[in-house]
Amino acid sequence: MTQEMARSNGRPSADTVAEFLAAGYQEKDILRIVLAISVKVLSNFSNHAFGTELDAKFAAYKV
């Protein structure tokens, strides 16, 4: 669900949503995914815009 939300710009297929809900998740869980993606995008965009330096302790995880 998360991958499809990210790859489709927040437009998952009806089948994906149905499968997600059938697996026992609720609509509020879809909103939690939207929130997590939003926080990540906000962080990335802000850091890119302001040229934030990567903390040395996270350097090993840089992609």
- Cβ(42)–Cβ(10) below 8 Å: no
Distances (CA, A) of 25 to 19, 22, 41, 53: 9, 7, 24, 38
Write down the domain spans for the chain. Answer: 2-61
- Cβ(61)–Cβ(53) below 8 Å: no
pTM of structure? 0.81
Can you give the pLDDT at residue 62? 84
Mean pLDDT confidence for 22-39: 98
- Cβ(4)–Cβ(13) below 8 Å: yes
Can you give the pLDDT at residue 63? 80
- Cβ(12)–Cβ(1) below 8 Å: yes
- CA-angle at 27, arms to 24 and 29, nearest 5°: 75
Can you give the pLDDT at residue 37? 96
- What's the pLDDT band for 8 if we cut at 50, 70, 90? very high
Can you give the pLDDT at residue 43? 94
